[in-house]
Chain A
Amino acid sequence: DVKVTQSSRYLVKRTGEKVFLECVQDMDHENMFWYRQDPGLGLRLIYFSYDVKMKEKGDIPEGYSVSREKKERFSLILESASTNQTSMYLCASTPGGQGAGNTIYFGEGSWLTVV
C-alpha cells in the first residue's frame, strides 16, 4: 500500500514563528502536493512538485514556500506564521506522467493552530 506520512498531526505555533511541515512518501512517486482544507472552502492547492528541486505554485501560495531536496520528501514552510494560516494541511503524492488515470494518495493531515 502507498504510504504518505506527515510528521506532525497536531501543532500549535505562535504568530511570527517559522513552521515546517514534513511529508514523506514511500512509493517513489514523482509528484507531491500540499493542500490546505478549511470548512466551506474545500481543498485548496498550495504548491506541488513534479521532481526533485522542482516546484510549482498552486492556487494559494502566498505566505508559503516548499522544499524538495529528495524525491521522497516534500516540506511546506510557513516563513512567518499568521492566524489565518490556522488550518488542516494535507500532503499528497502520485506517480509521474500526465496520465489522468494516476491516483493521488493523501497523508493523514496536519492540524496547525496559530495563536
Chain B
Amino acid sequence: DAKTTQPPSMDCAEGRAANLPCNHSTISGNEYVYWYRQIHSQGPQYIIHGLKNNETNEMASLIITEDRKSSTLILPHATLRDTAVYYCIVRIQGAQKLVFGQGTRLTINP
C-alpha cells in the first residue's frame, strides 16, 4: 500500500492561500491521490482527487508533481471554517477502501 507523509500541523492567515503538502513517493502509476478534511466531531468531507494532471474545483486546487511523488492542496482564500484536519490519501485498488494517515491539522488564524 502506498503511504503518505504530511506535516502534523500548519497555520495560515485568514484570506491567504493555504498550501498543504503531501509526499507519496511510493505511489503506483494507476493510483489516485485523494484529499479529505475532517472538522471536529464530523465525518470526513471529500475535497478533490487527481491522477497526474492538476485539478481544480469549487473548494480547492490540487497540484501533482510530474513524477507523482508529491502533491499540494491549495485552498485559495482560506476562511476560519477551513480549520480542520486534512488527509492526503492514495487510493488502494481492488478493495475500495481508503487508508487514512494522521493528516495535517490546519489552523486558520483571524
Q: Is the CB of A101 within 8 A of B51?
A: yes
Please determine whether A90 and B31 come into contact, CB atoms closer than 8 angstroms: no
Interface pair B32/A42, CB less than 8 Å apart: no
Task: Tell whether, in the assembled complex, residue A58 and residue B30 are in contact, meaning their CB atoms are under 8 Å apart.
Answer: no
Q: Which of A45, A88, A101 contacts B49 (CB 8 A)?
A: A101
A43 touches which one: B41, B95, B100 (CB < 8 A)? B100
Residues of B within 8 A of A100 (CB): 30-32, 91, 93
In the complex, the answer to whether B100 meets A42 with C-beta atoms within 8 Å is yes
Chain B residue at smallest Cβ distance from A105: B46
Residues of chain A with a CB closer than 8 A to B41's CB: 88, 109, 111
Q: Decide if the interface of chain A is mainly helix, strand, loop or mixed.
A: strand
Whether A108 pairs with B97 at a CB distance below 8 angstroms is no
Q: Any chain A CB within 8 A of the CB of B44?
A: yes
Chain B hits for A108, CB < 8 A: 42-43
Q: How many positions in chain A have a CB within 8 Å of any CB in the partner chain?
A: 25
A104–B98 CB distance below 8 A: yes
| In the complex with contacts A101-B32, A103-B46, A42-B94 CB distance below 8 A | no
Chain A proximity of B17: nearest CB distance (Å): 24
**Chain A, 73-110, CB within 8 A of any chain B CB:** 88, 90, 92, 94, 98, 100-109
CB of B8, distance to nearest CB on chain A (Å): 12
Which B-chain residue is minimally distant from A45 (CB atoms)? B97
Interface centre among B42, B45, B51 (most CB of A within 10 A): B42
The 5 closest A-B pairs by CB, nearest first: A106-B43, A43-B100, A100-B91, A42-B100, A109-B43
